[in-house]
Amino acid sequence: MNASSSVLHAIKPDGAFDVERIRADFPILKLKVNGKPLVYLDNAASSQMPQQVIDRLVRYQTAEHANIHRGVHYLSETATAAYEGARVKVQRFINAKEAREVIYTRGTTDSLNLVMHGYGRAFIGAGDEIIVSQLEHHSNIVPWQMLCEEKGAKLRVIPCNDAGELLLDEYRKLFNSHTRLVAVTHVSNALGTINPVKDMIATAHEHGVPVLLDGAQAIPHMKVDVQDLDCDFYAFSAHKMCGPTGIGILYGKAALLEKMKPFEGGGDMILSVTFEKTTYNVIPHKFEAGTPPIAAGIGLGETIDYLESLGMDRIAEHEHNLIVYATEAFKELKDVRIVGTAREKAGVLSFTMKGVHPHDVGTILNEDGVAVRTGHHCAQPVMQRFGIPATARASFYLYNTMSEVDALVAGIHKVRKIFG
Ligand code: 7TS
């Protein structure tokens, strides 16, 4: 079965989403957990994989596998074509100008660290400043702190209001002649806030400062056009967009990537090596040392085919309907606080319950097969901002249904009954 055969049925004649048909593509959703149908609401941590992508991985392993970029034999050429073909799919998906602006990494964290090592260490020095926001995942804080410590640079932080929206007036005030980089998340994983990144990029560019976007929570859920945004770097992971683990992307403008130093040395990133001198390969290969996760890259290409055939706009609309429905239902619940009430919000519902620890909420929900994440979501500064140690978080994706939201709400009633 290929992606297109399923998709013919997944979109109804009026253009609407047939969520039941889409669910049929995801074998794991048929699981029972504790005797109840699985209700998977932990998509911000990692999403599930459709059969089309699983089949593609099996086809690769059974009929196409060899190392890439180095063989003249059939299998190596087949694997290379598939892997490089997937890079072109990514280019088209994010509307990058050129495929060489698309670098394979291990995931968002790896992509952000690559910018820190390749760009930050070369162009950020003592007394320089990096702007991040209060909404960042640790992956977009810690690398910059490491750089600051090494170089004597400084982090500046864009604050947010009680709804979890960044304060843009404060953002504008942070720029000065020492500002070297803005590194912000496109969508907050802990609150779901969609940041106004296009405007934020325009502001940074007025000051001649490049912008790195952490797109881990945006790219699975909405159309992203890197040329329209005019971002300088964009980082994301395949496993949050129905793809495999172990692979992600760093998009970068070619002119910046060419100026950057490679992060890791080894095979594939060189043109020539003598004991006196190594000449580096051209981009993107300069940043891709060693045998890459070939299967995962090819799987990412198939994932993009799958998402595109459904339509990113339709996916975004479906998730919007889910978050609106869930938010309305949660507003009716006594002693439940929604954390993160931005006007522009993706499908993330973080909440606390008076008198109940989020871990207990998650444990009781799990008894009925409902999977949510509890904790600080690797965004401790967000928790500090809201004066809480943790939340429970439901995060939606294309295969979730209104009746799964009902199951979540029923679970919350059960928690309340148990805790009084
Ligand atoms: N940035 C954001 C905004 C994220 O949400 C995550 C993962 C990362 C970076 C790191 O991605 P990775 O693929 O390199 O691990 N966020 C979450 C989450 O919310 N729950 O588990 C992982």
Boundary (domain end) residue, out of 280, 309, 338: 309
Q: Is the pLDDT of residue 274 over 50?
A: yes
Boundary (domain end) residue, out of 284, 309, 334: 309
Is 47 contained in some domain?
A: no
Boundary (domain end) residue, out of 268, 286, 309: 309
Q: Is the pLDDT of residue 3 over 50?
A: no
CB atoms within 10 A of CB 11: 17
What is the reported pLDDT for 9? 58
Q: Is the torsion defined by CA of 82, 289, 259, 173 positive or negative?
A: positive
Q: Does 237 lie in the same domain as 104? A: yes
Is 49 contained in some domain?
A: no
Q: Does 275 lie in the same domain as 158? A: yes
Query: What's at 131, amino acid-wise?
Result: I
Is 43 contained in some domain?
A: no
* Per-residue 3-state assignment (H helix, E strand, C coil) for 51-93: HHHHHHHHHHHHHCCCCCCCCCCHHHHHHHHHHHHHHHHHHHH
pLDDT level of residue 16 (50, 70, 90 thresholds)? confident
Give the model confidence (pLDDT) of 166-196 as tens digits.
Answer: 999 999 999 999 999 999 999 999 999 999 9
Q: Whose CA is nearest to atom 16 of ligand 1?
A: 45
Q: Does 413 lie in the same domain as 343? A: yes
CA 249 – CA 234 distance, rounded (Å) = 8
Q: Whose CA is nearest to atom 5 of ligand 1?
A: 189
Q: Does 264 lie in the same domain as 350? A: no
Number of domains in the chain: 2
Q: Is the pLDDT of residue 7 over 80?
A: no
Is 41 contained in some domain?
A: no
Average pLDDT over residues 294-317: 97
- The domain spanning residue 295 has which CATH number? 3.40.640.10
Is 342 contained in some domain?
A: yes
Residues touching ligand 1 (Cβ under 6 Å) are 44-45, 107-109, 137, 139-140, 185, 189, 214, 216-217, 237, 373, 377-378
Q: Does 301 lie in the same domain as 168? A: yes
CA 409 – CA 393 distance, rounded (Å) = 13
Is 301 contained in some domain?
A: yes
CA 108 – CA 216 distance, rounded (Å) = 6
Q: Whole-model pTM above 0.95?
A: yes
Q: Does 328 lie in the same domain as 275? A: no
Give the model confidence (pLDDT) of 370-398 as tens digits.
Answer: 999 999 999 999 999 999 999 999 999 99
Q: Whose CA is nearest to atom 18 of ligand 1?
A: 45
Could you tell me which residues come within 8 angstroms of residue 38 by beta carbon, excluding any fewer than 6 positions away?
28, 29, 30, 31, 32, 369, 371
Q: Does 129 lie in the same domain as 213? A: yes
Is 315 contained in some domain?
A: yes
Q: Does 238 lie in the same domain as 137? A: yes
- The domain spanning residue 339 has which CATH number? 3.90.1150.10
Q: Does 249 lie in the same domain as 381? A: no
- Domain span at residue 252 reads 54-309
Q: Does 324 lie in the same domain as 286? A: no
